[in-house]
Structure formats: C-alpha cells, structure tokens
C-alpha cells in the first residue's frame, strides 16, 4: 500500500534540505560566511577578479565546497537589471556586488578548501551556448542594500 502524501516524507526538514544550499538573504549574511583566506593556493580562481568565463574543465570542483546561494527560491525569474557605481561595467574588477541585482541574484557561493577564498558562480545562457562564469568574492565591494 502506498503511503499518503502526508506520510511519505518522515525525515526532519533539516535532513531533507541538506543538499540545498542555504539562501543568503542579505549582504550581512553573505559577509558572515566569508572567512579570511591565504594566497598560497594557485587554483584557476585567482584569475577571476571580475566576472570571467570559467569552463567546467577549469573549475576546481574537487577543492570547492558550496556554502550558500544568492538565488531566492521564492522568485521564479530574477531580474536582469544590473547595479553599477562609479562608471563600472559588468566585467569590471571593481564592480559593486549587490546581491539583489544581476548576476549576483543567480549565484551560488563556493569556498576553496585549500586557501579559503570564496567565489561566486552562475551560468550565462545564450541562444546557443551555456557559459559558466565565476568571480572572486571581494568583501570590500559588497553593497548593503
């Protein structure tokens, strides 16, 4: 006999959600996840000061751990509006990080297990391509909005 829909899921909610990254709702929660890092790691992430194309082949998956997401689970289609100050552009190394705006609102946050550096990653989808992009998380550029 099949269990009813109310009986199917008997695990506590924290066990059911364990594979889902924690949604970081604001800049303060994001900053709380960031730890000091060392510069001794020589992974490919060091080239990602601004948004850079970083293919799956170059993504050091084995040394990264997902620590959260900026993708709001309650929003089906996040905005593509960007937030810029001081004349920056999307790919600028000094572009502000505003988690409510594109592309940050589509990112997961990872921590390198070797150097503790944090990196943001999202996938850009075009007409005929899929382009994974990454950017190191510089806490000095985070905007408190």
Report pLDDT for 19.
66
**pLDDT tens for each residue of 68-107:** 999 999 998 899 999 988 889 998 999 999 999 999 999 9
Q: Tokens standing for 108?
A: 């997961």
Identify the DSSP state of 92: -
Q: State the SS3 of 11-65.
A: CCHHHHCCCCCCECCCHHHHHHHCCCCCCCCCCHHHHCCCCEECCCCCCCHHHEE
**pLDDT tens for each residue of 26-65:** 888 888 878 776 667 777 888 899 999 988 888 999 999 9
Residue spans per domain, the chain: 21-141
């Amino acid at each position: 006999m099949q269990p009813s829909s109310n009986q199917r899921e008997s695990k506590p909610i924290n066990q059911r959600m364990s594979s889902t990254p924690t949604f970081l709702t604001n800049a303060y929660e994001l900053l709380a996840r960031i730890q000091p890092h060392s510069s001794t790691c020589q992974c490919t992430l060091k080239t990602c000061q601004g948004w850079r194309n970083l293919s799956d082949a170059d993504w050091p998956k084995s040394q990264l751990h997902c620590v959260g997401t900026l993708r709001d689970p309650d929003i089906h289609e996040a905005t593509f509006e960007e937030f810029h100050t001081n004349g920056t552009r999307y790919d600028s190394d000094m572009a502000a990080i505003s988690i409510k705006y594109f592309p940050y609102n589509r990112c997961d946050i990872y921590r390198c297990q070797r150097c503790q550096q944090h990196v943001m990653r999202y996938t850009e989808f075009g007409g005929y391509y899929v382009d994974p992009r990454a950017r190191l998380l510089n806490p000095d550029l985070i905007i408190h909005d």
